[in-house]
Each structure stands twice: as structure tokens, then as C-alpha cells.
Amino acid sequence: MARITFLGAAGTVSGSRHLLEHDGRRVLVDCGLFQGEKGLRERNWARFPVPASSIDAVVLTHGHIDHSGWLPRLTREGFKGHILTSPATSDLLGLLLYDSAKCQDEDAKYANRKGFSKHSPALPLYDERDVERTLRQVRAVRREEWFAPVAGMRCKFHDAGHMLGSSFIQMELSGSSPEPLRLLFSGDVGRFDAPLYNDPIPPTPCDYLVCESTYGDRNHPTSRPLDELEAATKQAFARGGLMLVASFAIGRCQQLVYLLRTLMAAGRIPEAPIWVDSPMAVEATEVFRRHVEEHDFTEARMEGVADALASPFVKMAKTAEESKAINEYDGPGIVIASSGMMNGGRILHHLARRLPDPRTTVLVAGFQAIGTRGRTLIDGAKFLRIHGRDIPVRAVIKKVDALSGHADGPELCRWLSGMPKPKQTFLVHGEPPAARAMAEQLHQAFGWESTVPAIGDGFDLSS
Ligand SMILES: [Zn+2]
């Protein structure tokens, strides 16, 4: 008998953790951090529902913190098994987890300073030593090859096209019947024709499908990122000032560099300096270059451009001095810095300096949550509070919509379109309206009935 229990990303998008029990073994698919509302974040402090030491292995779809960020805590609670993931995810994981440990530390220090923690003193969820131990448990497994996390179970990673290294998991459980029980975990599914990433591989037939539904209630714009970026950059350069791009350090930043260099090399926008001003983005770009065989360079190929990601024209600012040197620059140019929602990071220094200058353009290239500075700017604020000062906003604020990491509802249907009807479909990783809308689309398109589990719900799986 096999059983699946949804321990996170059920009725919400963060904290992905799906526990499989089979033949006395326990395997966890993803081990994400809960993010967002306070009520969700508090879940990070609860002990794992089963003893961490009883989990035999973790199979990890990709590196994003909402899928991997609780691993150091699992290790701290006694998990000793292997963490199996793709080679590129294994390379990115250190960057992401050390950064997460730093954020935990900053949160704890902030709580102590403000005195609002229930615990005295407030402690980080985990620290660098926990991350170090966790990384020693990681084992890289190539895509398209079977591997056995435990006896009686075999898995295969396939490219999900969502970020570097991201995979969906084909899983087979052997049991009393001659045919194995087949499962499929979508992880996060990328978009078709996304810059730098391959299209998601068609899914394998399965008895039980666990599918994401992040944007189940949305239709992404159909504009091409290259064209949108060309128009935005031309306008920015015409104003004569810098274009500041707030971007996540891993993934979005490399897509932007790739597209901007392609546009410059193809002569579609003028040549100008591009700075990547984030130590994490600089390191992540190195990882991207090491896995160049995973990239889809369609845009560059169509424009006849080679080496768009490895361009010597892109300046990597790793040290504080290199970052400060950008302040001296006056004229058309592009600075890509994190954080993506402008909550912290080096983008703040640039904003404080350049927002009062009407020649500046601020490009917002990702989703901006309510309450973030990015959202405040999009909503048309005249002043922005940075480092305790109200900075006047005279810059032009521009949004680029075409770069989303997740497939929308119709794209998920397109991805699933060749798949025979599973016995049961579970929709996870979506807010309730998104999951409901996705269920409706799957019903309309294929006649499938879907289950939207709540956190803690468990289901017996039978062949
Ligand atoms: Zn993701």
C-alpha cells in the first residue's frame, strides 16, 4: 500500500512538501519554505509532522526556496538521507540556501531589535552550518535516467522548463501487482517559448498526477519578451539616463542579460553598458554558463547572435566598490540589481540616487506583491521611502509583463494535452481561486475531475 500526504503548497503556493509512504519507506518530494502571510510563515516553526529521521530520501524538483528552503531545517531535525536532484539544481542550491540562511538571520536580528518575537532572543530558522550539512546530503542525478531513492521506487527527472535545472518527476512504485504504480509530480512548469529555457517535455502517462496551478486563473500576455524589452529600452535610452531593472538574482537576471545582449548585438537597440549589480546574480550567471547545454538560445539564433549570455560587454559588479563605481556613470546604460520587489539589496542605492532624475527609467520585470516598494512605484507613488528618507519619484516607471516563470492555465492544458486520463489528479501550488479555475479548465478540456487537497490531507494510492 502506498500513501501520499500533502504537507504544504496545498491551497497555497509556498511550502511544497509531498510525503510518499510505500513499503515502510518514506520519501519527500520537495521541502519548501512557507512564504507570504504571517500565518503561513509561522508554519516554518512547527516540527515536521513525522520524525525527520524517519524520512529516507528527498527528491527535489528545483531550487526555488518555496521548494527547497526548508531542507536545512529538516536536516537540523535529524534527516540523514540523500537529497536527489538535477546537476544544475545541485549547483544552484548552495547559492539559494546560503542566501536564505542570511535572510533568516536578518529576520531574527530585526525581531530582536524591535522586540516583537515570542522567543527571547529570536533565533534564525537555520544558519550557515545547517546549510553546509544539508549540501553534503545532495546527490546530482542526470535527467532522463532512472534512479532509485529507496527500494521499490524509481524516478526519472524531465526538463520542466521553469528555471535552470527544474524538472518534473516521473515515479514508479513496485508492489504486489505486476504493473508498477505510476505517479507524476509536475513541480513548477515553465512557459512555452520562454527565453533561455527549453519548452517543458511532454508529461509521461501516470495513475496519479500532482500538478501545480499557480496561474490557473490567469492568461499571460502574448507579447514576445524580446519585443517588449526592445520598446522599453529604446524609450529609456531616448531619455538619456540609466535604466534600472529590479530583478531576482537567479533566473530572471540571466534572461534579461541574454535578451538585452541579443538586442544590442543584433543592432535593435544601441550598444550601452549593462551592469549585473548583485553578488548572487554574478555567481548564478557563472552557474548558468557552466550549464550552457541546458539553454534554449532561439531568440539569439534568429537574430544571428552568438554568446549573448557570455558577453564580455556585460560588467559584473561583485564588490561594493564595483557597485559604487556605477554611481559615476552618466548616460544611457542598464543596471540589473536585486531584490526583484525592491525590498532590499543594491537596487535601493540606485533608486535613492536616480529616482529624482527624470532621465531615469525603472523597469519592473516581475510580479510585485502588495506592500513592496515595487508595487508602490507601479501604483504611481510620488515619493518612495528608502533608508529612512522619502525620495521624490521623477523617473519613468515601466512594467514588462512577458517574463513569467510559470505556465498559465491554457499553457498547463497544452502541456497535459497528450496525456491519458489519470486515475486521480491533485492540484497543488495555487491559491484557492487559481486551483479551482485550473480544475475547471481540466474538466472542460479533458473531462478530468481534480482534487484540491488541503494541508495535511492524505490519500491511499492503489494500482
Ligand atoms: Zn519555482
Q: What angle do CA 269, 270, 272 make, to 5 degrees?
A: 120
The CATH number of domain 225-399 is 3.40.50.2300 = no
Which residue type occupies 432? P
Ligand 1 centroid distance, CA of 406 (Å): 8
Q: Give me the tens of pLDDT residue by residue for the chain, a chain 463 residues long.
A: 899 999 999 988 889 999 999 999 999 999 999 987 788 889 999 999 999 999 999 999 999 999 999 999 999 999 999 999 999 999 999 999 999 999 888 888 888 887 766 667 888 999 999 999 999 999 999 999 999 999 999 999 999 999 999 999 999 999 878 899 999 999 999 999 999 999 999 999 999 999 999 999 988 888 889 999 999 999 999 999 999 999 989 999 999 999 999 999 999 999 999 999 999 999 999 999 999 999 999 999 888 888 777 777 799 999 999 999 999 999 899 999 988 889 888 999 999 999 999 999 999 987 777 788 998 999 999 999 998 899 999 999 998 877 888 899 999 999 999 999 999 999 999 999 999 999 999 999 999 999 999 999 999 998 7
pLDDT confidence of residue 37: 78
d(CA 143, CA 126): 30
CA distance 9 to 32: 8
- Position 118 scores a pLDDT of 64
Span from the CA of 146 to the centroid of ligand 1 (angstroms): 23
Q: Please tell me the distance between residue 161's alpha carbon and the centre of ligand 1 in angstroms.
A: 10
The rounded Å distance from CA 37 to ligand 1 centre is 18
The confidence score (pLDDT) of residue 78 equals 98
Whole-number Å distance, alpha carbon 57 to ligand 1 midpoint, is 21
Q: How far is the CA of 62 from the centre of ligand 1 (A)?
A: 7
Whole-number Å distance, alpha carbon 70 to ligand 1 midpoint, is: 14
Distance of alpha carbon 32 from alpha carbon 418, whole angstroms: 30
pLDDT of the residue at 331? 86
Contact 337, 245 (CB under 8 A): yes
C-alpha 162 to ligand 1 mean position (Å): 7
CA 324 / ligand 1 centre spacing (Å)? 32
Rounded distance from Cα 382 to ligand 1 centre (Å): 33
Tell how far the Cα of 83 is from the centroid of ligand 1, in angstroms: 17
pLDDT at 117: 64
CATH superfamily of this structure's domain 2-218+405-461: Ribonuclease Z/Hydroxyacylglutathione hydrolase-like (3.60.15.10)
Give the distance (Å) from ligand 1 centre to CA of residue 387: 30
Ligand 1 centroid – CA 316 distance (Å): 25
CA of 9 to the centre of ligand 1 (A): 12
CA of 339 to the centre of ligand 1 (A): 16
Q: What are phi and psi of 190, to 5 degrees?
A: -80, 180
- Between the CA of 410 and the centroid of ligand 1 the distance, in Å, is 18
Ligand 1 centroid to Cα of residue 176, in Å, is 35
C-alpha 16 – ligand 1 centre gap (Å): 10
**How many Å lie between the centroid of ligand 1 and the Cα of residue 188?**
5
Cα separations (Å) of 444 from 109, 143, 156, 284, 450? Answer: 50, 32, 30, 41, 12
Q: Going edge to edge, which strands form the sheet with 18-22?
A: 138-140, 82-85, 57-59, 25-29, 18-22, 2-6, 458-461
User: What are the CA-CA distances from residue 234 to residues 95, 351, 360 (Å)?
Assistant: 33, 20, 13
CA of 252 from ligand 1 middle (Å) equals: 12
What spacing in Å lies between the alpha carbon of 159 and ligand 1's midpoint? 13
**CA 423–ligand 1 middle distance (angstroms):** 26
Domain positions in the chain? 2-218+405-461, 225-399
Calculate how far, in angstroms, residue 372's C-alpha sits from the geometric centre of ligand 1: 20
User: Residue 72 C-alpha to ligand 1 middle, in angstroms?
Assistant: 18
- Put simply, whether the predicted model's pTM sits higher than 0.85 gets the answer yes
Ligand 1 geometric centre to CA of 429 (Å): 10
206 CA distance to ligand 1 centroid (A)?
22
CA 68–ligand 1 middle distance (angstroms)? 10
User: Could you tell me the distance, in angstroms and rounded to a whole number, from the CA of residue 64 to the centre of ligand 1?
Assistant: 5
Q: Give the distance (Å) from ligand 1 centre to CA of residue 39.
A: 21
The pLDDT value given to residue 40: 86
- Following DSSP, what letter does each residue of 148-203 receive, concatenated? -SSTTEEEEEEE-SSSTT-EEEEEEE--SSSSPEEEEE--S---TT-TBSPPPPPP
